[in-house]
Amino acid sequence: MKILAGDVGGTKTNLALFAKEGSELRRSELRTFPSGRHVDLESILTEFLAGKPDISVACIGVAGPVVSGQSRVTNLPWVVDEESVRKTVGAKRAHIINDLQATAFAVPFLPSASLAVLQRGEADPRGTIAVLAAGTGLGASFLVWTGKGYVPVASEGGHADFAPRDEREVRLFRYLQERHGRVSVERVVSGRGLHAIYRFLRESEGMAESEGVEARLAAEDPPRVIVQEGLSGGSSTCGEALRFFSSLYGAQAGNVALQVMATGGTVLGGGVTPAVLTMLSEGPFLESFLSKGRFREFLSRVPVKVIRDDKAALLGAAHYALERQEVDG
């Protein structure tokens, strides 16, 4: 049985084929497409599947809310439709789920080598697990134990209001409010948020930058440049942007852990997160995660891990497709 798994994001779309071998799923035929260069998902699917074997079932994780088998992608002018995907793929069944549901579905199947530990904690083996992922945007989900296994629950928590904690964050909030009106958490905790933080430091806080870094920012992907220059020490402003970002990320991760009582742990994913793992490990992330007043002790017992594999959502989508196939027949 061939399974098509997809992960649709604002920046890129990942597709892969999976086959069941014993009790495991084996991935093959992985490809990444720049989302913005295509008019819709169907054109990408057609290109990817050319010359491939017949697909039994498909599951696509989409960065956006899914209602009645359809999703309008948050950071793309695309509508992803379950029936349209099924026809394009030629499969008997196709499923559309939220991208963070797909990531969450992968968590129980990830090997320990795919997870970096930020805080060891004391996990309840049947406790709720929070999942937060900073990529182009900010995704959120959580896993609930049913008695037989974990089930992921969809969420759009990344679009909750950004609540500043101190004077500098208030200034950041006002800077973003002038440009966007409403300010969600995603405006600061995401790849685009990292770039916004950098611009705030330059334009409102008066931090300087070299001409070389400014030229790179204009010619290349800004979040990637900020990460590279910040971690290498090539730019003090990029470094400060990463520290500020890490603090904001930690605060939101702590919020989500409290909201769902994540006694099973908090897992961080997304394309940005593994890229800034060094900063998350050494910077202010953990202090912001813990800094919740009377609930500091509770949060100190919550394991915090980072998914190193930025293709984990594909594994989760494949497992979702397999589970539905076994249930539906």
pLDDT in tens, the chain (329 residues): 899 999 998 889 999 999 988 888 999 899 999 999 999 999 999 999 998 889 999 999 998 899 999 999 988 999 999 999 999 999 999 999 999 999 999 999 999 999 999 999 999 999 999 999 998 899 999 999 999 999 999 899 999 999 999 999 999 999 999 999 999 999 999 999 999 999 999 999 999 999 999 999 999 999 999 999 999 999 999 999 999 999 999 999 999 999 999 999 999 999 899 999 999 998 899 999 999 999 999 999 999 999 999 899 999 999 999 998 877 76
Residue 190 phi, psi (nearest 5): -175, 175
Cross-strand pairs, 269: 133
Structure tokens at 85: 């995907």
Number of H helices, E strands in the chain: 13, 14
Domains of the chain: 2-105+311-328 (3.30.420.40), 113-307 (3.40.367.20)
Q: Which residues contact 146 (CB under 8 A, 6 or more apart)?
A: none
How much is the pTM? Answer: 0.91
Nearest-angstrom CA–CA distance, 187 and 168: 16
The total of other beta-carbon atoms located within 10 Å of residue 36's CB is: 12
Cross-strand pairs, 163: none
